[in-house]
Structure 1
């Protein structure tokens, strides 16, 4: 074997070892959603700044949706149904390491700095526990997902509206002004291109996020109903306090994990 052949073989061995190591980093039975349903859009909020903490969350080392395979396969079925309606699923969060759950709790106990107040405009920060931020999460089992619906080809269309958590008409009269006047506030809660109007943004800690919230427009009500119907037919159940949160209903193994989400290996 000449030195060029040896170098190629060594490179291939190293690449294979890296891939195998990355695969082994996932809990047994877990998969990257891109490997099961690559056409589902991903906007993994906790891997970046655009989330209610205003910072990347521990455990999210890559903006990838990771799930248990049975949940990923069920989500693929929901995607096929959505596509039949000219829609697509868009996920915000999937498997959540337990260290991220602990980080949420620490954030909730920290003093208010106003940077992400737009995500809970009608509540003090310390009121978010335990109704919105709990010490345990079904996401840590790999069976839960936070998501919305987008129109197919929606990435080529402008956002429908800019909304921080809830519509101004639903918020206290002085709250939107107070949020906007905070120079440190982050621009959170905006609808992405093509997203259906669900009445609130994702991770809006407010009563308006209840799936059955009565003060929705007909369009918002229909959007939520379509999402719930698609997900239920695929085997998921909705968490009534959050229109975006669903868990696979009949899974027996509900162990939680604390393995970080690492970059998906190249195929």
Structure 2
């Protein structure tokens, strides 16, 4: 009976509406227009990231995605809210200039101010080789998201076993270094994201890309504002 009620609720949901913002390329939206109650912690717009400083192209705390990704994510949010949870998003569309800045940062071995918090067991010079930093990012195509789940009442993040953007094996989706509760939290996030069309990334529990993304070969560089 409970499952039937849930099914009826989900099938009766109308898709969110949004206006076309002329400052965005065709096919993109500000996520808050589609999911007003999503929690935003846009890490690369501030200092709490592995570089220790805001990245170029992040001119505001607006989260931008493709329309298709936003609409799919709204279904994720609606289902999680029925279970007492909510999405918290760390990053979505990422300008190519920000990715370029990652590469510049990686070439400065002396700049390790955030090493203890984000990559304590990894040598900075190995970040390229290990795949933590690349010259291109799926985020720049607009349909890749970094996110987690929070308790809808307390606002506390669910314990996933490692923090966002932590470089190490413990952040791998199926690592053996986490507890059963932490693993179950990751499974919940992966299951609901997969249900609505997102594929996961094995080395980062927070990273998801929309299947059949609309711009699979285009890396955008417009600023976030």
Q: TM-score when scaled to structure 1?
A: 0.74
Greater C-alpha Rg: 1
Question: Is structure 2 residue 222 aligned with structure 1 residue 223?
Answer: no
Secondary structure of the equivalent of 2:150?
strand
> Which structure 2 residue ranges, 5 or more long, are not aligned?
1-18
Match of 2:142 in 1: 142
Asked if the contact 2:43/2:91 (under 8 Å) is kept, the reply is yes
Question: Number of residues paired by the alignment?
Answer: 204
Match of 2:159 in 1: 197
Match of 1:104 in 2: 102
1:253: Cα distance to partner?
2.8
Q: TM-score when scaled to structure 2?
A: 0.87
1:252: Cα distance to partner?
4.5
Secondary structure of the equivalent of 1:133?
coil
Over 6 Å off, 4+ runs? none
Asked if the contact 1:27/1:257 (under 8 Å) is kept, the reply is no
Question: Is structure 2 residue 14 aligned with structure 1 residue 31?
Answer: no
- Counterpart Cα distance in 2 of 1:65 and 1:26: 12
Secondary structure of the equivalent of 1:154?
coil
Match of 1:49 in 2: 47
- Counterpart Cα distance in 1 of 2:73 and 2:159: 21
Asked if the contact 1:25/1:259 (under 8 Å) is kept, the reply is no
Task: Give the alignment's Cα RMSD to 1 decimal.
Answer: 1.4
Q: Give runs of aligned pairs for residues 17-166 of structure 1, distance below 5 A.
A: 23-118=21-116, 119-130=118-129, 131-155=131-155
> Which structure 1 residue ranges, 5 or more long, are not aligned?
1-19, 156-193, 263-267
Report Cα offsets for 1:104-139 as digits up to 9, x if no partner.
Answer: 111111123331012001111011114111101000
